[in-house]
Chains A and B, each alone.
Chain A
Amino acid sequence: MLDQAAPNDSKVSINGHTPLLPLELRGLSYEANGKRVIERVDLTIKESGITVIMGPNGAGKSVLLRLMHGLITPTAGEVRWGGKRLDRELARRQAMVFQKPVLLRRSAAANIWHALGLRGIARGDRAIRVGDALRLAGLESRAATPARVLSGGEQQRLCLARALSLEPDILLLDEPTASLDPASTLAIEELLLDAQRDGIKIVVVTHDVGQARRLACDIVFLHQGRIIEHQSAKSFFDQPDSDVAQAFLAGGLVL
């Protein structure tokens, strides 16, 4: 059983920039193919611990995460981090890990090198960060291996290491361990808890209740594009407010 470390509330931005919390979603809507995927969502996240977004499949969790990251534009409403609207400067302080690891046809090390290059990190610093990231992910021995040849778990660890090498203030993850074996899942979760201890704000989408229990400080429960609940993990798991969440936690199929 993993212990949750106490979240580091004293600082939310490590480099002395303007703080990026609270995350505020106001009247956020997103429509695709004539269907309302996200329905007038209002949400404020002040806590600096790991926020888990949960809900049945098709609830719109991945879309919500992408709206927070600025990968897609809402059809209505807005996203604000620390009172500021999403812009390039803000985006540079975020990093995201996707459900399926996305790696280039290069070595593991070169993938991290490339990402650092995109951020404009000086060459000298890059070498250090690449080494640190590989060490963190336990992949130093695989540095020169073509990234796409690594196992699924190794690839996802590499993706997470790459994200962390960018020294983000915010880390977003979309079902990061959905297709991984338990050992790899454990490794990823440990990395996330370490990152949280370092003061990185983490938002994770998952449909794995066990993982939510292990990681979450607070839970956002999504159903059919609407936020049904947002409360601390402890109180949520003890007694969810809504029937939908209750049924979900009990393992039933929620339509």
Chain B
Amino acid sequence: MADFLQAFHTAVRLIVTFDPRLVEIVLLSLKVSLLAVAIASTIGFAVGGALAVYRFPGRGAVAALLSALMGLPPVVAGLFVYLLLSNAGPLGVLQLLYTPTAMIIAQVVLVVPIIAALTRQACENLLEEYDEQLRSLGASSSAIVATLLWDGRYRLITVVLAGFGRAIAEVGAVMIVGGNIDHVTRTMTTAIALETSKGEIALALALGIVLLLTAFAVNAAFMGVLRFATRLAYA
């Protein structure tokens, strides 16, 4: 119980004083995860939309594979990217290992299946209503995908937030490809892992509280932007 109270106390202190080390890891976490989600969304929307609209042999298998990859353990995604970026690996020449870029890549690998699978689901639902009318209007398959994605934008915002939640909370992938290097690749989650391994339970919990607050703030910001954009669209 004492740990909980101390954790809460520490969290408040860290936030109120804008502790520079805290600010550094929060900003890095946000940068990595937000960029990863932005990139993953671009890829995921396209793949998910295409999967819903285009008919091709093996379509069902690809859809099943994507759904399965939603459960890809972060540490496995991290290992996969590590093997690619390692100096002994095919992309070693890029010297990306142990940098924030590597962390972004690993999180993109992790988040794309989530966004693609959920986008496919959303687009298939919309297609039930729109398929005949859009084909009657002479829309090409790519035009249909674009139409569905925009029409389903509210649901897709939720999909993006789901992807962001996964990214900001994971530690396995960023730990392996980032190396948890102080001032370079230490994020909130890797810092929590480190403090826990040092027995600094209260501090680890405090960081956890900050992580939750950060995720909450991002969610709120997204929804706020959405509401503002909606009002604009109908002005």
> Is any CB of A less than 8 Å from a CB of B in the complex?
yes
Q: Which residues of A contact B137 (CB under 8 A)?
A: 95, 115, 118-119, 166
What is the total number of residues of chain B having a CB less than 8 Å from a CB of chain A?
A: 18
A80 interface contact, C-beta 8 A: no
Q: Which residues of A contact B17 (CB under 8 A)?
A: none
B133 interface contact, C-beta 8 A: yes
Residue of B nearest to A66 (CB): B132
A69 and B136 in contact (CB under 8 A), knowing A102-B130, A104-B147, A107-B234? yes
A105 interface contact, C-beta 8 A: yes
Nearest CB in chain A: distance from B156 CB, A: 12
Name the contact of A104 in the complex, choosing from B151, B234, B235 (C-beta under 8 A): B151
Nearest CB in chain B: distance from A201 CB, A: 16
Q: Mark B134-154, 1 if CB is under 8 A from A, else 0.
A: 111111000100010001011
Residue of A nearest to B130 (CB): A102
A114 interface contact, C-beta 8 A: yes
Name the contact of B132 in the complex, choosing from A94, A102, A119, A166 (C-beta under 8 A): A102
Q: Which residues of B contact A146 (CB under 8 A)?
A: 234
What is the total number of residues of chain A having a CB less than 8 Å from a CB of chain B?
A: 23
Interface of B is mostly: helix
Find out whether the CB atom of B136 lies under 8 angstroms from the CB atom of A95: yes
B129 interface contact, C-beta 8 A: yes
Nearest CB in chain A: distance from B64 CB, A: 25
Q: Which residues of B contact A102 (CB under 8 A)?
A: 129-130, 132-133
Nearest CB in chain B: distance from A200 CB, A: 16
**A214 vs B235: C-alpha distance when bound (angstroms):** 41
Q: Which residues of A are at the interface with B, using a C-beta cutoff of 8 A? A: 66, 69, 71, 88, 91-92, 94-96, 98, 102, 104-107, 114-115, 118-119, 144-146, 166
Contacts A88-B138, A102-B130, A145-B234 aside, 17 further interface pairs with beta carbons under 8 A come to: A69-B136, A71-B135, A71-B136, A91-B138, A94-B136, A102-B133, A104-B130, A104-B147, A105-B154, A106-B233, A107-B233, A107-B234, A118-B137, A118-B143, A119-B137, A119-B138, A166-B137
